[in-house]
């Protein structure tokens, strides 16, 4: 009897193993296929656009567009990524799949979540077109989804974004147009930032009875209350002397920096002339602000005054 029981146990083990292998085989056959090719590339491009991750995003641009993307201002690069997901703020991407394995990218921001469903690609040699449905996932009553057809092209063995809807993604053709649109805004922001720096310097002088040795002293303290070394009067960018495509320079005029008689000069110049701005701003030691085109060089008190 013991031999029969042993034989029965062996048979049961073999049947169990066979049944498990069969179940595993069935599960594999029913599992959605892995996402690859143009769908995977578009999925990852949309995830990078959601994050506003420039480094990851430009990997999915053609060589021609990558060069132009690198030359765009930070604001223009961000604006392009926003258009891919139709969201203004950077978000947190989450990648899932539908019942047939098509990728879904959810971009979650503080004010809402966009859900982007990527359909099956229509591939012709080195070009593929993928239908995309984009909708507001956090508000089911927001209306119908946006239907967009993305074009992808295979370049050096990798899939890159070719078009959005009926528009060919041709960044070199858009560079000049975007630069012109942004220059005016950048110049206005630079003048406003210059006035903020003036207010911070005067606030520092009033509090500590002397001028700060550098713009860095006007930045925020990492811990504790404001001090003469970190007065907390300017944001991080302005305290570092760079903001919105402009560079800021602060110079104390006179033999020392102690007391009310001490004076100073300020300048704001385009970081990249012709792209982030053309006008150079200069605040003289008597408090007058001047503006002129110096091809990216520092302005002077001979420039016309800004009203």
pLDDT in tens, 171-197: 877 776 777 777 888 899 999 999 999
For residues 259 and 223, the model is more confident at: 223
Q: What's residue 29's pLDDT?
A: 35
Q: Kindly state the average pLDDT of the residues 36-50.
A: 94
Q: Does 17 have pLDDT greater than 60?
A: no
Angle (CA) 35-146-55 rounded to 5° is: 55
Round the average pLDDT of the chain to a whole number and report it: 84
133 and 224 housed in the same domain: no
Q: What's residue 146's pLDDT?
A: 86
- 289 assigned to some structural domain: yes
CA-to-CA separations, 49 to 60, 103, 187, 204, in angstroms, rounded: 10, 16, 27, 40
Query: In sequence order, which residues have a C-beta less than 8 Å from that of residue 243 and are 6 or more positions away?
Result: 189, 190, 193, 235, 237
At residue 99, φ and ψ (nearest 5 deg) are: -65, -30
Q: Give the separation between CA 91 and CA 110, rounded to whole angstroms.
A: 8
Q: Does 131 have pLDDT greater than 90?
A: yes
117 and 199 housed in the same domain: no
131 and 53 housed in the same domain: yes
Domain boundary among 169, 193, 228: 169
- 67 assigned to some structural domain: yes
Q: Kindly state the average pLDDT of the residues 94-98.
A: 93
- 89 assigned to some structural domain: yes
Q: Does 169 have pLDDT greater than 80?
A: yes
Q: How many domains does the chain have?
A: 2
- The DSSP secondary structure of 110-136, one letter per residue, reads SS-EEEEEE---EEETTEEEEEEEEEE
Q: Kindly state the average pLDDT of the residues 69-92.
A: 88
Q: Does 207 have pLDDT greater than 50?
A: yes
Q: Give the separation between CA 190 and CA 168, rounded to whole angstroms.
A: 33
Highest-confidence range of 9-18, 29-38, 152-161, 163-172, by mean pLDDT? 152-161
57 and 142 housed in the same domain: yes
Q: What's residue 34's pLDDT?
A: 54
Q: Quote the pTM value.
A: 0.56
Q: Which of 191, 183, 167 is nearest to 80 (CA)?
A: 167
Which DSSP symbol is given to 305? Answer: B
Q: What's residue 35's pLDDT?
A: 54
Q: Kindly state the average pLDDT of the residues 261-289.
A: 91
- 189 assigned to some structural domain: yes
Q: Which of 257, 256, 237 is nearest to 248 (CA)?
A: 237
134 and 252 housed in the same domain: no
SS3 275: coil
Identify the burial level of 190 via C-beta atoms within 10 angstroms of its C-beta, where 0-12 means exposed, 13-18 middle and 19 or more buried: buried
Q: Does 263 have pLDDT greater than 70?
A: yes
- 8 assigned to some structural domain: no
Q: Kindly state the average pLDDT of the residues 61-69.
A: 92
Q: Does 284 have pLDDT greater than 60?
A: yes
56 and 154 housed in the same domain: yes
- 1 assigned to some structural domain: no
- 148 assigned to some structural domain: yes
Neighbour tally for 292: CB within 10 Å: 15
pLDDT above 90 coverage of the chain, percent: 58
Q: Does 139 have pLDDT greater than 90?
A: no
Q: Give the separation between CA 159 and CA 163, rounded to whole angstroms.
A: 12
- 141 assigned to some structural domain: yes
Q: What's residue 256's pLDDT?
A: 54
Domain boundary among 123, 143, 169: 169
At residue 278, φ and ψ (nearest 5 deg) are: -120, -25
Q: Kindly state the average pLDDT of the residues 126-132.
A: 95
163 and 65 housed in the same domain: yes
Q: What CATH number did the domain enclosing 104 receive? A: 3.10.450
Q: What's residue 30's pLDDT?
A: 38
110 and 157 housed in the same domain: yes
33: confidence class by pLDDT, cuts 50, 70, 90: very low
Domain that holds residue 165: 37-169
Is beta strand 246-253 parallel, antiparallel or unpaired with respect to 263-270?
A: antiparallel
For residues 304 and 9, the model is more confident at: 304
Identify the burial level of 65 via C-beta atoms within 10 angstroms of its C-beta, where 0-12 means exposed, 13-18 middle and 19 or more buried: buried
Q: Does 94 have pLDDT greater than 60?
A: yes
Domain boundary among 106, 138, 169: 169
CB 216 within 8 A of CB 229: no
Q: Give the separation between CA 288 and CA 305, rounded to whole angstroms.
A: 7
141 and 69 housed in the same domain: yes
43 and 151 housed in the same domain: yes
134 and 198 housed in the same domain: no
Three-state SS sequence of 226-249: CECCECCCCCHHHHCCEECCEEEE
157 and 207 housed in the same domain: no
pLDDT in tens, 234-258: 999 999 999 988 999 999 987 555 5
Q: Does 50 have pLDDT greater than 50?
A: yes
């Amino acid at each position: 009897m013991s031999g029969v029981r042993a034989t029965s146990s062996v048979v049961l083990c073999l049947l169990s193993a066979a049944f498990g292998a069969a179940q595993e085989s069935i599960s594999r056959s029913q599992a959605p296929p892995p996402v690859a090719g143009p769908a995977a590339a578009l999925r990852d491009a949309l995830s990078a656009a959601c994050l506003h991750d420039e480094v990851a995003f430009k990997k999915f641009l053609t060589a021609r567009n990558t060069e132009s993307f690198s030359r765009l201002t930070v604001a223009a690069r961000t604006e392009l990524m926003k258009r891919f997901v139709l969201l203004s703020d950077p978000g947190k991407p989450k990648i899932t799949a539908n019942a047939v394995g098509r990728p879904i990218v959810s971009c979650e921001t503080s004010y809402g979540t966009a859900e982007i469903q990527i359909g099956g690609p229509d591939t012709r040699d080195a070009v593929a077109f993928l239908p995309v449905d984009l909708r507001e996932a956090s508000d089911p009553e927001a209306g119908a989804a946006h239907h967009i057809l993305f074009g992808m092209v295979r370049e050096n063995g990798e899939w890159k974004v070719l078009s959005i809807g009926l528009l060919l993604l041709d960044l070199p053709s858009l560079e000049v147009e975007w630069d012109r649109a942004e220059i005016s805004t950048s110049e206005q922001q630079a003048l406003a930032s210059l006035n903020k720096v003036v207010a911070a310097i005067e606030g520092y002088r009033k509090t500590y009875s002397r001028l700060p040795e550098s713009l860095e002293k006007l930045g925020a303290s990492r811990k504790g209350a404001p001090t003469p070394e970190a007065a907390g009067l300017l944001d991080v960018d302005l305290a570092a002397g760079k903001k919105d495509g402009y560079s800021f320079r602060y110079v104390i005029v006179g033999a020392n920096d102690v007391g009310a008689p001490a004076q100073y000069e300020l300048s704001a110049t385009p970081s990249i002339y012709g792209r982030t701005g053309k006008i150079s701003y200069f605040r003289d030691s008597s408090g007058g602000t001047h503006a002129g085109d110096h091809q990216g060089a520092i302005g002077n008190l001979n420039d016309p005054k800004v009203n």
